[in-house]
Chain A
Amino acid sequence: MTTRHRPGLAETLETCRPVPPAKPNILKTLLALQSALSHVPTSAIPQIAQVLGVTDAQVAGVLSYYSDLRTQSPGRHLIRVCMGESCTANHGGRVLRAIQDHVRVAAGGTTPDARFTVEQMSCAGNCAVSPTVMIDEDLCGRVTPSEVPSLLERYR
């Protein structure tokens, strides 16, 4: 059995080191780190700043600005319930409640077994097939509260 190599912080950061005349790009760097590590720990800020040649404050500023950048690792599966207008009009709120009740964690939280993190999201752009739940990269449409248990069963 082979295990897939997962690049670490230093290794990923090295691929983002700006080569002149290219300028450092903080957001791109943080997205690359998140993609490799699942999140960007705030403890890494000085190291990131040093490689990019920017200040700690600049890195911290970008990290805290964007809602899709996370400083903590989410659960194995990220459930995002769309709260856009079309989903709201089609009772997406009831779907959110059903999910919270089923996994016993409120939006923003992670289950104790780290299986699920539940979040609300703004419009997923799936308005014609709403209400929408995004699980990892899968988009599920026309979700009803009653099908929540069977839907989540697919994600162990």
Chain B
Amino acid sequence: MKTTRCYLANDTSSRAAGAGRLADAWSDRPEIQLIRTSSRGAFFLEPMVERDVPNGREAWFNVLPNDLPRIVGGVGGTPIAEIPFLQQQARFTFANFGITEPLALDEYQTRGGLKGLAAAQSLSPEAIVEALRISRLRGRGGAAFPVWKKWQAAQQTGSELKYVVANADEGDAGTYCDRMIMEGDPFRLIEGMMICARAIGATRGYLYCRYEYPAAARTMRFAIQKAREADLLDCDDYPFDLEVVTGAGSYVCGEETALLESLEGRRGVVLAKPPYPAESGLYGKPTIVSNVLTFATIPNILANGGAWHASLGTEGSRGTMALQIGGRVKQPGLVEVPFGLTLHDVLDRFGGGMAPGSRFKAVQVGGPLGSLFPESQLDIPICYDAFAEVGAILGHGGIVVYDDETDMVELARHFMAFTADESCGKCTPCRIGSVRGREILERIQAGEGTAESLDLLKDLGETMKATSLCALGGRAPYPVLTAIEHFPEEFKKGLTH
């Protein structure tokens, strides 16, 4: 019997959508050979099965086990190039997604992998930093700090021991691009970290992965082992080693100083800066802490040149951004697009509108510390400057849409309760402020709020913004205050006059 080669994603979300059950159901079927790839990120279509056709691949969507005859017979497939969700993207960092097997190092190389590292090896450390400066890449974890400045500081700090740390503590609700990279294209992350190591003179790297991502940690450990066996880590007699370390469920460990405390095995408590980790970080040594997506963006920059990266996006936001669309939309998934599209465009063109039977109420961008936008404000361009201008953040690119069944007072309480739970306790405004904020909102919910409650909440919010040590306390008021600003009548219902 002829065997048809088919492709099925093996990442956590595709499995959660049923890819694993599909593979189990077909495990003893001789007519099909399943190649387990990364996911294209069009999760609303998962589980999606693809097969080769003369001009690329065709796909079958939301596949069930009894769809096998149709797939093997080649009936009813859609050419990948005709899926609008994928067509309208600019895939660079995510170019391999849905195509390659995550742990196939040869495939990674065939598709241009390791070219960035090769380019970096032919450059001086200063020239690598210069390429980053020209690229105008800003950190993708949330703070959006120019990457080259950090690298230059670490490069210029004298020390026989330096570290590179990938922040894979992707705690922002609504974000999953780091998990996709670790599970789907792990060598790209390793390559990015190695380029950084060369630039600053680091010999050791850590990947701090959150506890909730066991599959990502496993894939990264396999990939590091493969890279080590291929003599990739110690290339040109330049020693470098990499280790995966897991966290234990603390949101604030995504903040770089808390992450380093946790990496040393202590409570993940935020430290005052300066000193910055680039000068004095892990065990007091110069350390670059960058987000997974940031490191994964770097190989293409070295391979194609800084000017290539700077040619994409908007004035203050160069390159592409991985936006992760979730909540009550028809087409949740990851899209990589140049900065500059409006929020409306993204929700409309990629999100595909609202889930059946639901009506739009608000969208939150940038995780649990991000501002809420009502329908009237969706024409904002997705870039750092436009968001900063209205006091909002892009954060790590999470976009969550809420429908009209959402109770905004409860949502606001949820955000304050989240901060109260996750506060490291180091600074008073965050530790006490978040608890007081939650209590005020609970009183409003119970119908016991007074006319002063909202003023008190706003005052508390301003204090937290101005005086908290890190972004957890400093940003926590934004979703709450924007909820009050755009949906005041819901809050006023709970007030006694």
Contacts and interface: CB of A to CB of B under 8 A. Distances in A.
Interface of A: 23-31, 58, 61-62, 65-69, 83-86, 88-90, 121-130, 132, 134, 137, 139-142
- Which of the listed residues A25, A61, A86, A142 has the most CB atoms from chain B within 10 Å of its own CB? A86
Interface stretch (B87-95, B109-117, B320-328, B430-438): B320-328
B245 interface: yes
Contact of B265 (A24, A125, A134, A141): A24
Contacts of B211: 68
- Which of the listed residues A25, A30, A61, A121 has the most CB atoms from chain B within 10 Å of its own CB? A25
Contact of A129 (B16, B245, B283): B16
A66 B406 contact: no
A86 B264 contact: no
- Which of the listed residues B16, B251, B367 has the most CB atoms from chain A within 10 Å of its own CB? B16
A122 B418 contact: yes
Interface stretch (B165-173, B184-192, B228-236, B302-310): B165-173
A146 to B, nearest CB: 17
A133 to B, nearest CB: 9
Interface in B283-298: 283
A139 B21 CA distance: 12
A132 B16 CA distance: 8
Given A30-B248, A130-B326, 9 more contacts: A25-B264, A67-B421, A85-B398, A86-B174, A86-B326, A86-B332, A126-B13, A139-B12, A141-B17
B245 A127 contact: no
A128 B400 contact: no
A67 B43 contact: no
A127 B328 contact: no
A35 B214 CA distance: 12
Nearest to B44: A128
Given A25-B264, A85-B173, A122-B171, A129 B43 contact: yes
Contact of A89 (B176, B268, B367, B406): B406
Contact of A123 (B174, B325, B406): B174
A128 B364 contact: no
A128 B333 contact: yes
Contacts of B10: none
A88 B16 CA distance: 17
Interface in B400-427: 400-403, 406, 411, 414, 418, 421-422
A155 B249 CA distance: 24
Closest 10 pairs between A and B when the two form their complex, measured CB to CB: A68-B249, A141-B16, A25-B265, A86-B326, A127-B326, A66-B248, A128-B43, A84-B173, A123-B173, A128-B332
Interface in B344-378: 355, 364, 367-368
Nearest to B324: A127
Nearest to B283: A23
A67 B249 contact: yes
A16 B36 CA distance: 36
13 contacts: A27-B247, A27-B262, A29-B265, A86-B332, A89-B402, A123-B175, A125-B13, A126-B12, A127-B174, A129-B332, A134-B212, A139-B13, A139-B16
A86 B268 contact: no
Contacts of B406: 89
A131 B210 CA distance: 20
A30 to B, nearest CB: 8
B213 interface: yes
Contact of B327 (A30, A89, A121, A142): A89
Given A24-B265, A129-B43, A86 B248 contact: no
B179 interface: yes
Nearest to B355: A90
Given A84-B173, A127-B176, A128-B325, A28 B265 contact: yes
A110 to B, nearest CB: 18
B373 to A, nearest CB: 14
A12 to B, nearest CB: 16
B325 to A, nearest CB: 7
Contacts of B16: 126, 129, 132, 139-142
B246 interface: yes
B175 A26 contact: no
